[in-house]
Amino acid sequence: MSEKFDLPFKSDMQPQMLDLGSKIQFRCHKGISCFNACCKKADITLTPYDVIRLKDHLGKSSTEFLKDHTVPFQMDKEGLPGAKLKTTDEGVCLFMTEEGCSVYKDRPTACRYYPLGHMSMLASGSKTDETHYFMVKEEHCKGHEEDRVLPIADYLKEQETRQYDEMNREWMQLMLKRRSMGPTVGRPPEATLQMFFMCSFDMERLRRFVLSDNFKKTYDLEDSTYEVLEKEDNSLMQFGVRLMKQAFFGERTIPEKDGAWEKRVEERQEVWDARRQAEIARQQQAEDEKYKDA
Ligand code: SF4
Ligand code: SF4
Q: Is the CB of 176 inside a 6 Å radius of any atom of ligand 2?
A: no
Q: How far is it, in rounded angstroms, from Cα 110 to Cα 113? A: 5
Q: How far is it, in rounded angstroms, from Cα 115 to Cα 38? A: 10
CB 10 within 8 A of CB 123: no
Q: How far is it, in rounded angstroms, from Cα 44 to Cα 70? A: 10
**Ligand nearest to C-alpha 36:** 2
Residue to substitute in 32, 96, 99 for testing ligand 2 pocket (most ligand atoms within 8 angstroms of CB): 32
Q: Is the CB of 114 inside a 6 Å radius of any atom of ligand 2?
A: yes
Q: Is the dihedral of CA 202, 103, 175, 228 positive or negative?
A: negative
Q: Is the dihedral of CA 62, 64, 65, 70 positive or negative?
A: positive
294 residues of the chain, pLDDT tens digit each: 644 444 333 446 666 889 999 999 999 999 999 999 999 999 999 999 999 999 999 999 999 999 999 999 999 888 899 999 999 999 999 999 999 999 999 999 999 999 999 887 766 666 677 889 999 999 999 999 999 999 999 999 999 999 999 999 999 999 888 877 766 566 788 898 999 999 999 999 999 999 999 999 989 999 999 999 999 999 999 999 999 998 888 888 898 888 766 666 666 666 667 767 777 777 777 777 776 665
Query: Which amino acid is it at 54?
Result: L
Running DSSP on this structure, what letter comes out for residue 41? G
Q: Is the CB of 221 inside a 6 Å radius of any atom of ligand 1?
A: no
Q: Is the CB of 141 inside a 6 Å radius of any atom of ligand 2?
A: yes
Residues sharing a CB contact under 8 Å with residue 198, sequence separation 6 or more, in sequence order: 205, 206, 209, 240
Q: Is the CB of 92 inside a 6 Å radius of any atom of ligand 1?
A: no
Q: How far is it, in rounded angstroms, from Cα 239 to Cα 219? A: 13
Closest ligand 1 atom to 103 CA: 2
On the 0-12 / 13-18 / 19+ scale of CB atoms within 10 A, 174 is: buried
